[in-house]
């Protein structure tokens, strides 16, 4: 069974990095600052997370501290009860 970190990492690699082999993806790396995702990508990521984990992400939760980096996303989901 995949961990939350593996699921999120694989989603990002498959949807935002595919074909760009020059990009490394570190768990603590800013996805926005490194150009891996943009604002539209954040919305795609949110839709994926909501569907995959049956959670709702409120507008006030759409902040970098929650969604800009794999570690941030994993911690955010842990706070929502997803392990």
d(CA 67, CA 73) in angstroms, rounded, equals 5
> Tell me: the pLDDT tens digits for 4-43?
999 999 999 999 987 766 677 899 999 999 999 998 999 9
pLDDT interval class at 70 (50, 70, 90): very high
CB of 50 closer than 8 Å to CB of 34: no
Tell me, what's the pLDDT at 24? 76
Q: Where are the domains of the chain?
A: 4-15+32-79
81/75 Cα distance (integer angstroms): 10
Give dist(CA 8, CA 48) in Å, integer.
9
CA of residue 52 relative to chain centroid, distance: 12
């Amino acid at each position: 069974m995949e961990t939350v970190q593996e699921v999120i990492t694989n989603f990002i690699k498959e949807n935002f990095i595919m074909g760009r082999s020059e990009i490394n993806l570190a768990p603590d790396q800013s996805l926005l600052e490194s150009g891996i995702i943009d604002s539209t990508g954040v919305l795609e990521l949110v839709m994926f997370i909501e569907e995959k984990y049956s959670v709702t992400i409120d507008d006030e939760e759409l902040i970098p501290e929650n969604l800009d980096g794999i570690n941030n996303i994993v911690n955010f989901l842990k706070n929502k009860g997803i392990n």
